Amino acid sequence: MTIGIAVLCRYSSSRLPGKVLMPIGGKPVLQHIIDRLQKLEPHRPVVVATSEESSDDAIAAYCEKQGIDYFRGSLTDVAGRFLSLARQFDWDYVVRINGDNLFIDLEALQFMIEKADTGQYDFVSSVKDRTFPFGMSIEIVRTAFYANIVAQMTEDRHREHVTLFLYDHPELGARCYHFNTTYPGLSGLQMAIDTRADFERAEQILDRLGDRSESYDLGDLAKILQNL
């Protein structure tokens, strides 16, 4: 079973343009995400999924320079880009990570990958009921199943938001939902880097993590967020 990780990102963010390549804690946001994902054991392939627009040439150039695999597709048909990437790399399942999700719960990701690896599920998600913070979302979808889902999408909003169609149609596919029950105080908190204020907050968190900025867990984040 081949399970790969797609990091969806674009340079032309409306609220914080260029955020994916903004330096934080000594390296770009995107590099933090890649480095974090490469700590998974066993290793899973990671590919940056950006657009073909000239506005995203900087992301492609950065990936080229750093030796990071990347894929370019439609800017607006993000679902199509996501599916095309999974097909090109011949993945049975594809993990969706957003490029503004600096803080990734590796324990949750590993658990969810193991669930997908059983082959019993078409869709594995940590988003339902928002028990994890915004910006720590993880979703895994079976490629063949997702191809059928994309074929049913007729609205632009479903093409733009990769998994929205699945939440609008909960009857489709065999599903496994993962919930954060250990740290309920984190439920629904904003940890995605969406604005300048979010970016500055992320800087504070990384600073407080210190030497653990490469090896933190959800408990470390919970302790820091209590005092921010």
Assess whether pLDDT exceeds 90 at residue 216.
yes
Rounded average pLDDT over 87-115? 98
> What are the tens digits of pLDDT across the range 18-36?
999 999 999 999 999 999 9
Q: Which of 131, 110, 111, 98 lies closest to 6 in space, CA to CA? A: 98
> What is the pLDDT confidence band of residue 212, given thresholds at 50, 70 and 90?
confident
8 A C-beta contact, residue 102 and residue 24: yes
Identity of the amino acid at 16? L
Distances in Å between the Cα of 98 and the Cα atoms of 29, 95, 139, 194 are 11, 10, 10, 11
78 burial level (CB within 10 Å; 0-12, 13-18, 19+): buried
Sorted by where each starts, the structural domains of the chain and their CATH numbers stand as: 3-226 (3.90.550.10)
What 117-121 contacts at long range (C-beta under 8 Å, 24+ apart), as own/partner pairs, is 117/1, 117/3, 117/93, 119/1, 120/174, 120/176, 121/173, 121/174, 121/175, 121/176
Would the pTM of this model clear 0.85, i.e. be above it? yes
